[in-house]
A = this chain, B = another copy of it.
Amino acid sequence: MFKPSESGVMTRSRKGWRSRVAANDRRRSPTSAANLPAKTPAALHLHDKQSERDYRELPIDKVGVRGLRFPIQVRDKERTVQNTVATIGLFVDLPKEFKGTHMSRFIEVLNAHGNVIHVENLTDILHAMQARFRAATSRLEMEFPYFMVKQAPVTKLESVIDYVARFDASACGRKVDFVLTVKANVTTLCPCSKAIAAYGAHNQRGGVTVQIRSRKSVWIEDLIRIIESSASSELYALLKRQDEKAVTERAYEHPVFVEDLVRNVAVKLKAHPDVTWYKVEAENQESIHNHNAYACIEKR
């Protein structure tokens, strides 16, 4: 049984545990040992508060760093690479015996991939965290803008348009869980408004968020395609008048309630051979109200 000293630091009577921690620390932090300049020998004696014993009998589910912005590269469906900027969170679990986590190790793991990290290496990052922290579970969250080139429907003029993608990944032992999220904005035109008005129909920008788990990789582009084909119309950056005419008419011909939008997407995800779980949300910035219409379907 552990007894803390007055200052809370482990005494020699708990040598076994403490030296294990100290050894882990050296093993876990080769970087710090390796790079320690000769001029700061005192560094090795700086008290390690995080490794002190904790007695509240409370393991921590998730602890780490959040809100880190970092440049990344993402491989897209055409097998080219795009550069973007991610907002990143990195976490591990913390057993009840330990007072704290050595937060700097998260930064070391991230920067170990160079000044730009590659999204194919997510599993490497998860396992690296498990190793560095001797953690059972590690987690990563990474959200970033994602770009595609689109052709306008009639003139075929090309322009870049942005979406948002997000990875939530966790490793528990060797088991890896990965949720891909894609957010795309679309045009939604109201069927009720169209049905009852003598002319016109209210429409607006709506946002669709799709989260999936899958047995094989699913491309971000494929989820974007699913979302955009479920709406009254997809969005474009560049539309000349001929294109604007086409999208206006297409939206009018394909009215969808926010309920239709999530159902259309869900039908396609249900039919997708690789998708094992999904959650679809849609939120319309209603053009006639100062509030939004919202709907959500989650696979049971």
Contact with A249, one of B42, B43, B200 (Cβ below 8 angstroms): B200
Residues of B near A196 (CB, < 8 A) are 46-47, 241, 244-245, 248
Contact with A198, one of B115, B192, B203, B249 (Cβ below 8 angstroms): B249
Q: Is the CB of B104 within 8 A of A238?
A: yes
Q: Is the CB of A294 within 8 A of B259?
A: no
Residues of B near A50 (CB, < 8 A) are 192, 257
Q: Is the CB of B245 within 8 A of A205?
A: no
6 closest cross-chain pairs (CB), A and B: A200-B252, A83-B83, A197-B248, A69-B162, A43-B242, A63-B295
- A interface list, Cβ under 8 A from B: 29, 31-32, 35-37, 40, 42-43, 46-50, 54, 56, 58-71, 82-85, 89, 91, 94, 99-101, 103-104, 107-108, 111, 115, 145, 147, 149, 154-162, 185, 187, 189, 191-205, 233, 235-242, 244-245, 247-249, 251-252, 257-260, 262-264, 266-267, 283, 285-298
Contact with A240, one of B82, B84, B104 (Cβ below 8 angstroms): B104
Main secondary structure of the interface of A (DSSP, over half): mixed
Q: Is the CB of A247 within 8 A of B162?
A: no
Q: Is the CB of B61 within 8 A of A296?
A: yes
Chain B nearest CB: distance from A248 CB in Å?
4
Q: Is the CB of A66 within 8 A of B160?
A: no
Chain B nearest CB: distance from A300 CB in Å?
9
Q: Is the CB of B294 within 8 A of A157?
A: no
Query: Given A257-B99, A258-B63, does the pair A58, B266 have CB atoms closer than 8 Å?
Result: yes
Q: Looking across the interface, which residue of chain B has its beta carbon closest to that of A159?
A: B111
Residues of B near A35 (CB, < 8 A) are 155-157
Contact with A115, one of B60, B69, B71, B149 (Cβ below 8 angstroms): B149
A-B CB contact pairs (8 Å), 14 listed:
A37-B156, A43-B242, A47-B196, A50-B257, A65-B294, A69-B145, A84-B85, A104-B238, A104-B239, A115-B147, A196-B248, A202-B244, A202-B248, A204-B287
